[in-house]
């Protein structure tokens, strides 16, 4: 008697896709969270170098680095949220329909349940403040120190204004993404 063919079910494919996107989400969360530590390290190193050299103009290195790290943080944070939305809106309902055609089963309930926490709003506000501080306020403070030092010529002052505008743009995006 011939062996029956081994096929892959739709449920197995959906579960494999779920595992794949959750693995990506987990990797992005780790990368995103490490960007805050990298930013703190860069800030400390630049401030220490500028103080040791007595050159306030060295602080001009902070804004572009913080903009790049902050934007990378935001992009990863958005993808993390998009993966969660995909699991809640696409994968979960498809798998639930396979498991319970009557419609009473909810797959991946945690993906929705944790979003209903009463303190979620305050955590999001606090995270927004942390992000704005790390990626925008600290490099803006470095620009203020540079401006107050009178250390730069016209070209460096012009550069610092462009950097301030980039920080303002990043700050606006941090607030937009927080919503």
* 102 vs 5, more confident: 102
The CB-based long-range contact list for 153-160 (8 Å cut-off, 24+ gap) reads 156/57, 156/60, 159/60, 160/60, 160/63
- Indicate the DSSP class of residue 100: -
Give dist(CA 36, CA 29) in Å, integer.
Answer: 11
- Residues 60 and 101: beta-carbon distance below 8 Å: no
- Confidence (pLDDT) at 120: 85
> What average pLDDT does the structure give for the chain?
92
Residue/partner pairs of 5-12 with CB below 8 Å, 24 or more apart: 10/94, 10/98, 11/95, 11/98, 11/99
The structure's pTM equals 0.87
User: Could you give the residue ranges of the DSSP H alpha helices within the chain?
Assistant: 10-53, 62-86, 92-99, 110-113, 120-132, 138-149, 154-178
Q: Between 5 and 27, name the one with better pLDDT.
A: 27
At residue 1 the predicted structure's pLDDT band, cuts being 50, 70 and 90, is: low
Confidence label for 65 from pLDDT (cuts 50, 70 and 90)? very high
pLDDT of residue 179: 81
42, 146 Cβ separation under 8 angstroms: no
Read off the pLDDT of residues 10-22 as tens digits, 9 standing for 90 and up: 899 999 999 999 9
Question: Which pLDDT tens digit goes with each residue over 101-155?
Answer: 887 888 888 888 777 788 888 999 999 999 999 999 999 999 999 999 987 788 9
d(CA 97, CA 145): 60
Q: What is the pLDDT averaged over residues 34-39?
A: 96
Contact 168, 65 (CB under 8 A): no
Instruction: Give residue 109's pLDDT.
Output: 81
């Amino acid at each position: 008697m011939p062996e029956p063919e081994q096929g892959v079910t739709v449920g197995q494919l959906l579960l494999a896709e779920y595992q794949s996107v959750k693995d990506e989400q987990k990797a992005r969360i780790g990368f995103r969270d490490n960007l805050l530590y990298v930013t703190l390290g860069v800030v400390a190193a630049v401030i220490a170098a500028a103080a040791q050299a007595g050159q306030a103009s060295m602080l001009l290195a902070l804004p572009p680095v913080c903009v790049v790290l902050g934007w990378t943080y935001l992009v990863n944070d958005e993808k993390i949220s998009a993966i969660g939305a995909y699991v809640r809106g696409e994968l979960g309902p498809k798998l639930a329909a396979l498991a319970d055609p009557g419609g009473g089963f909810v797959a991946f309930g945690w993906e929705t349940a944790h979003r209903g926490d009463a303190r979620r709003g305050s955590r999001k506000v606090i995270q927004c403040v942390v992000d704005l501080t790390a990626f925008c306020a600290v490099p803006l403070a470095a620009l203020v120190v540079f401006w107050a030092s009178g250390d730069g010529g016209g070209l460096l002052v012009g550069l610092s204004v462009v950097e301030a505008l980039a920080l303002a743009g990043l700050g606006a995006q941090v607030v937009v993404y927080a919503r």
